């Protein structure tokens, strides 16, 4: 089968498409024929070696941690899933024609494979970071970097929880932010003044999705570092803020809930662009540029 791998840390040039034997599922796992795999910042950060201080990578390494597809092989101990089932979830080396999933749920018929393949990371990260921020119904949350995949999920899940959200994004993305139920503003100098105009009583919590070195400013706006969470800035804890990291917590419950929200029309995901497996390096470069609205998808 074809798969994406890298054999050393580096830029897009280290990404190769190779022919390898299909992986087989271990206990509690399934193997799927991949229909769609989501692109996440963790994919190119891992390839660049940004995680090497706390995560061991064995070369050659696969790329991708989420996918949707059709079950083709079942590992020992799996009793609730069968060959031929449509599923989506977390896995390993998912940018490939076949991949092993370690956590998954069944895909509803009205949830397209393309969207399902991009849901796991953003929905679980959004759910977890909202919980860790402690923000509650009736409070106001500031989201830095609101138009990407995780930001899009945060805006919608926060709206469902009764939270008012102010989201930063470039001006051309403000209609998108409004459409997801949030109040848009631009990022950059003067942010605190713009937020004060939008929320005269202040913001109760802040979530950093962009990782743009804004943690001290977010702490100043909330008045409490414990109410600031970053999913992208490794230095957050140096300032007393929280850095939210995996592994995912209760992924099956979260994915099942988000699938139900999608079926009810309460949650959606914009796919900005889909790429064939052969253009994975290009997709990772676009992700690294940080201007994606919604999600990028690899469709083997």
Residues 10-30: tens digit of each pLDDT: 999 999 999 999 999 999 999
DSSP alpha helices (H): ranges in 89-185? 113-116, 120-133, 149-160, 174-179
- Global pTM? 0.96
Per-residue pLDDT at 212 = 85
258 burial (CB, 10 Å; 0-12 / 13-18 / 19+) is buried
6 burial (CB, 10 Å; 0-12 / 13-18 / 19+) is buried
Instruction: Answer for the pair 102, 92: CB distance below 8 angstroms, yes or no.
Output: yes
Counting DSSP H helices and E strands in the chain, the numbers are 9, 15
> Where are the extended beta strands (E) located within 59-157?
61-62, 66-74, 86-92, 98-106, 140-144
> Catalytic: which of 9, 51, 187, 239?
51
For the segment 203-239, what is each residue's pLDDT rounded down to a tens digit?
999 999 999 899 999 999 999 999 999 999 999 999 9
- 3-state secondary structure at position 203: coil
Tell me the C-alpha distance between 261 and 273, whole Å.
23
Is 239 catalytic? The answer is no
Instruction: Answer for the pair 89, 34: CB distance below 8 angstroms, yes or no.
Output: no
* pLDDT tens, N- to C-terminus, the chain (300 residues): 999 999 999 999 999 999 999 999 999 999 999 999 999 999 999 999 999 988 889 999 999 999 999 999 999 999 999 999 999 999 999 999 999 999 999 999 999 999 999 999 999 999 999 999 999 999 999 999 999 999 999 999 999 999 999 999 999 999 999 999 999 999 999 999 999 999 999 999 999 999 989 999 999 999 999 999 999 999 999 999 999 988 888 999 999 999 999 999 999 999 999 999 999 999 999 999 999 999 999 999
258: nearest Cα among 129, 111, 148, 101: 111
């Amino acid at each position: 089968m074809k798969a994406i791998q890298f054999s050393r840390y580096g830029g897009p040039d280290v990404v190769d498409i190779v022919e390898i034997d299909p992986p087989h599922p271990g206990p509690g796992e399934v193997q799927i024929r991949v229909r769609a795999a989501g692109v996440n910042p963790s994919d190119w950060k891992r390839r660049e070696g940004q995680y090497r201080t706390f995560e061991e990578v064995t070369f050659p390494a696969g790329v991708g941690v989420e996918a949707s597809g059709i079950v083709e092989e079942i590992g020992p101990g799996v009793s609730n899933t069968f060959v031929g089932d449509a599923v989506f979830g977390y896995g390993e080396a998912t940018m490939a024609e076949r991949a092993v999933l370690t956590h998954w749920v069944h895909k509803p018929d009205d949830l397209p494979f393309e969207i399902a393949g991009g849901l796991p990371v953003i929905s679980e990260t959004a759910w977890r970071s909202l919980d860790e921020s402690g923000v509650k119904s009736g409070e106001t949350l500031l989201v830095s970097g609101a138009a990407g995949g995780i930001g899009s999920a945060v805006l919608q899940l926060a709206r469902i929880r009764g939270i008012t959200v102010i989201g930063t994004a470039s001006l051309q993305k403000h209609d998108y932010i409004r459409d997801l139920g949030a109040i848009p503003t631009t990022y950059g100098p003067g942010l605190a003044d713009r937020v004060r105009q939008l929320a005269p009583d202040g913001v109760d919590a802040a979530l950093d999705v962009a990782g743009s070195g804004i943690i001290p400013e977010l702490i100043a706006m909330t008045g409490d570092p414990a109410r600031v969470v970053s999913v992208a800035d490794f230095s957050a804890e140096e300032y007393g803020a929280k850095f939210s990291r995996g592994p995912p917590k209760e992924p099956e419950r979260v994915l099942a809930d988000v699938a139900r929200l999608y079926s009810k029309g309460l949650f959606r995901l914009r796919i900005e662009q889909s790429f064939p497996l052969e253009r994975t390096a290009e997709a990772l470069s676009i992700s690294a540029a940080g201007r994606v609205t919604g999600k990028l998808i690899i469709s083997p």
